[in-house]
Amino acid sequence: MKLRIFFVKVVSIMLISILLYLNISIASTESDLRNEQSEINNKIDDLKDEQGEITANKTDALNTIDGLTKQINSYESEISDLNTKIEDLNANIVTLQTKIDEATAEYNKQSDLLDTRLLTMYQAGQTTYLDVLLGAKDFSDFISSYHLISVVTENDKELMEKIKKQKEEIETSKKELEDSKNSVEQAKKEVEEKNNQLKQSKDEKTNLVNQLSAEEKEIQRKIDELVEDQRKIQAELEEIAKQYPSVTEPSDCGYIFPVAGLTRANIRTKTYPSYAGHTGVDVNINVIGKTVVAVKAGTVITSTALKNPNGTYRSYGEYIVIDHHDGTMTLYAHGLEGSRRVSPGQKVSQGQALMTVGSTGNSTGPHLHFEVRVGGKPVNPFPYLP
């Protein structure tokens, strides 16, 4: 009995010793791990600081170039607007000149008619309207003569008023024509000035780009590529808007959300623009596999994919544009490869499936880039989203 108790005590002491050892070992290991983790965290922080410094330096260089890119785009847009203004003014000049020529011809015709009447009256001597009345043979002839004189007098008055009005209209049109010609000359001077500013900004940008690292140059190349694609697309849409002008004012009513089953809650950044140069809004929360739909009925203007010569996607990637015939167009970009379901010229109804959300083109992850355009130019899309 005593022997059994002795063994129990020995075993208990051994177990306690083992547990104490294990606790010390575990505590020691945990402490070591914590220290190691602390060292790793410190190294990560150091790397982050270094990375942040590199990124900051890149951002400064690229931001300077980005500012010049915006300046260049602004100059190009202003030059385009001025050239459009010159075209409109020249068209107005042609219209005014035709109007003046026609009015002058009619004025000369009426003036000749009045001159003929005055000449006839002069050749008739001093005969007056009173002489005609007094020369009536009888009362019936008197009434007829009086009526004739009344008509002639009224016609003379109307003819003179008409000639006076035509002359005033011709003078007004000539003044407008002169103003239009002066405006054309002024616009041409502005275009020349903007072209000089544009060249200066482009030269400055080229010099800065040449100083970038290879990695930065690649980033800038993609940015320039996107900007150029956007410029071409905008020019095309503006041209289409001119050819098919809306008979109504652009409206933000009656639109649905562009991704089936999602809402504004699926937009991470709800400010416009979310960053400089961003022409739309990105629907980017829980979008994988979701269907892009037409926000309103309309006609498909564009349904294509922007690709490089080597077959890789760029800028908008797989994208679609719809004209809603209410003064607005909508653009849907970065669709899944091969998922587009509509073609140019096709009529679509509200809610009709267009493609699947993807990440083609200049995209870092699945999302829908959605734009609203008025007159071919991008506007804040948020007022159009329910």
- Tokens of residue 49, six digits: 């600081």
**259, 283 contact by CB (below 8 A):** yes
Closest CA to 291 of 378, 363, 247, 353: 353
Q: How many CB atoms lie within 10 A of CB 46?
A: 10
141 vs 234, more confident: 234
Q: Quick check: 329 and 312 in contact, CB under 8 A? A: no
190 and 50 in a common domain: yes
367 within 8 A of 259, measured Cβ to Cβ: no
User: pLDDT tens across 150-207, in order?
Assistant: 545 556 566 667 667 777 777 877 787 788 788 878 878 887 888 888 788 888 878 8
Residue 297 has pLDDT above 90, yes or no: yes
Residue 330, pLDDT above cutoff 80: yes
pLDDT per position as a tens digit, 331-344: 999 999 999 999 99
Split into its structural domains, the chain has a count of 2
CB neighbour class for 135 (10 Å; exposed up to 12, middle 13-18, buried from 19): exposed
Task: Give the highest mean pLDDT range of 13-22, 72-81, 157-166.
Answer: 72-81
The 10s digit of each residue's pLDDT in 217-249 is 777 777 777 777 877 787 788 777 777 665 566
Residues 84 and 184 placed together within one structural domain of the fold: yes
CATH of the domain at 72: 1.10.287.1490
pTM of the model: 0.54
CA-wise closest residue to 258 among 87, 110, 173, 381: 381
Q: Does residue 365 fall inside a structural domain?
A: yes
Do both 51 and 162 map to the same domain? yes
More confident residue, 131 or 161: 161
**Tokens matching residue 55:** 């990124």
Instruction: Pick the closest to residue 380 from 237, 245, 270, 232 (CA basis).
Output: 270
Backbone angles phi, psi at 132, to 5 degrees: -65, -40
pLDDT of residue 146: 47
> Which domain covers residue 373, as residue numbers?
248-384
Average pLDDT, stretch 10-25? 48
How much is the average pLDDT of 93-97?
81
User: What sign does the dihedral 120-126-131-137 (CA atoms) show?
Assistant: negative
Alpha carbons 30 and 33: distance in angstroms, whole number: 5
Give 290's pLDDT tier (boundaries 50, 70, 90): very high
Three-class SS state of 304? strand
Asked if residue 372 is part of any domain, the answer here is yes
pLDDT for residue 231: 77
